[in-house]
Structure 1
């Protein structure tokens, strides 16, 4: 059948639908035809009209739906969400990533979009759109960041991490930080193994950097290195958001390599990690249950001695956050109250005093502090948390 004949038959079917079932049947028939023809944007409009017809509303309107009852407003919203879900899913199955996500986003269920996108294999044509939705829109940050590494390399990926991922909450940073850590550790491990095999004439035993570089100081002679040293430093810094023991051991392994580099490649970090590799090593060790008291003492000294007017609140917040991560919230409260700067805005690295009080189930010290500071909102939040 020719396209003209097919179109005529479609219109005839719509006419028959009106005669047999009225407006509702017309819209149902139109929606099915649009599905069959994969005209999904128009399908969305048909589904919208179906919803409005069911609610007794004008099929098309430019107003903002004023005058609706709460029940009508809820049913209209549910209908539109269902339309978004159907059309977004169909577009993603068609491989139209950006368009599909445009419809799925209002549904507010990232897991649903993540599952649909998992079925789309990345290639040179769709990689950019996948990175946009998975990474930048936050649908699947781990997969999106891995695609970023695969497509653009480690250097660009680190830049992207520092510019956007690092601004996200810790739980959202972790998948990207893990992918970066795995990539840099794998590349460095392979490079070191290759160098040893080349110099010694046999593949070395050992699965960690520490095992490979121990007793092989010649690996670092004449300012030698086996990976871009700025990449190494950035990866170690970003790994501080991680909490899984395997990740922390891998990050600690990188510090073992980094601290053996020539001094010109041991870049100074921001306080309290100015002495970058030793300080980060101590941090990772404490989270692994090693040298805990030494780490607390080190970061406590940094918090007490560094002036927040020049160094900001990172030294204090690092101490408080570390104590919280070590499941010592009561000590974190004491540290936070004792050293908290009066005129410097926190950067949000550490939990709030109210969060710590809730974790510790000890509220009195925070209530007293808020009262002393005239912090009505903090006092009320702490009191509410205590009463839950």
Structure 2
């Protein structure tokens, strides 16, 4: 805490005691949107209320079970308050550590589901949603949308949980199927002069063996190989049919 903050705290303490002093300081941090400082202020107030020094270098000791329970509840309440304030300001990445500390990913999961991140925010949301397992399916969607098929395939091989895996496999397979379909349609149009009116690859290639003359291919072969390998462990019929 800087000198100005200490001065404000000392003045508030002189005017109305500890409770009013911490309340005044909290108001200041709220007005300035300094939420980490607000969190620390809430903890200091809880320590003083429990008969402890306002500032500690480690976990509080010498608390009876009732005091400890009250202090822990105050910690949880402060973390939730801080996380909710960050979410209200759209700062999901900064909110997450507070909700993670109390073991409640639900508010962050909901925020990620509704988020339309800027390019600068995508990395942070992918880290939380996919790599930390808050919402792997949404995290995978962000990877595929913003980083492309190659990176999506690589990350699929390290999918963090069974939850959302089938849905993500279907999304990836649909994307590759659509890419292959579009490439084949362009090839047919370049020869026949019009785009085929079908969304079935089987129908599109029927009777057009010339499409594969000279070992021609229309999708990165490593992507095809990955989808085939991936399909071995999948159960969704639609995904398997496209793969």
When residues 110 and 242 of structure 1 are mapped into structure 2, their CA distance, relative to the original with a 3 A threshold, is: farther
Provide Cα deviations, 1:57-88, integer angstroms capped at 9, x if missing partner. Answer: 33222243333333333332222122122212
- How many Å apart are 1:241 and its aligned residue? 4.7
CA RMSD of aligned residues (A): 2.7
SS of equivalent to 1:60: coil
SS of equivalent to 2:195: coil
Q: Which residue of 165, 174, 189 corresponds with 1:197?
A: 189
- How many Å apart are 1:221 and its aligned residue? 2.5
Distance in 1, Cα, partners of 2:81 & 2:110: 14
Provide Cα deviations, 1:140-166, integer angstroms capped at 9, x if missing partner. Answer: 22222222223322112222322x32x
Q: Structure 2: state its 5+ residue gaps.
A: none
SS of equivalent to 1:117: helix
Matched-pair contact (CA < 8 Å) for 1:145–1:176: yes
**Mapping of residues 172-251 of structure 1, within 5 Å:** 172-244=164-236, 248-251=237-240
Pick the structure with greater CA Rg: 1
More moved, 115-124 vs 133-142: 115-124
Distance in 2, Cα, partners of 1:157 & 1:253: 18
- How many Å apart are 1:195 and its aligned residue? 2.1
Distance in 2, Cα, partners of 1:207 & 1:235: 19
- How many Å apart are 1:175 and its aligned residue? 4.2
Q: Which residue of 1 aligns with 2:21?
A: 26
Matched-pair contact (CA < 8 Å) for 1:81–1:107: yes
**Mapping of residues 71-86 of structure 1, within 5 Å:** 71-86=66-81
Provide Cα deviations, 1:26-48, integer angstroms capped at 9, x if missing partner. Answer: 11221121011011111110011
Q: Which residue of 2 aligns with 1:170?
A: 162
Distance in 1, Cα, partners of 2:138 & 2:242: 24
Matched-pair contact (CA < 8 Å) for 1:208–1:253: no
Provide Cα deviations, 1:298-350, integer angstroms capped at 9, x if missing partner. Answer: xxxxxxxxxxxxxxxxxxxxxxxxxxxxxxxxxxxxxxxxxxxxxxxxxxxxx
Provide Cα deviations, 1:241-300, integer angstroms capped at 9, x if missing partner. Answer: 5444xxx3243223xxxxxxxxxxxxxxxxxxxxxxxxxxxxxxxxxxxxxxxxxxxxxx
Q: Which residue of 2 aligns with 1:58?
A: 53
Matched-pair contact (CA < 8 Å) for 2:169–2:239: no
Q: Which residue of 2 aligns with 1:253?
A: 242
Q: Which residue of 2 aligns with 1:103?
A: 98
Distance in 2, Cα, partners of 1:130 & 1:16: 39
Q: Which residue of 91, 100, 119 corresponds with 1:124?
A: 119
When residues 70 and 182 of structure 1 are mapped into structure 2, their CA distance, relative to the original with a 3 A threshold, is: farther
Distance in 1, Cα, partners of 2:170 & 2:233: 9
Matched-pair contact (CA < 8 Å) for 1:178–1:242: no
Aligned length: 239
When residues 50 and 117 of structure 1 are mapped into structure 2, their CA distance, relative to the original with a 3 A threshold, is: farther
SS of equivalent to 1:170: coil
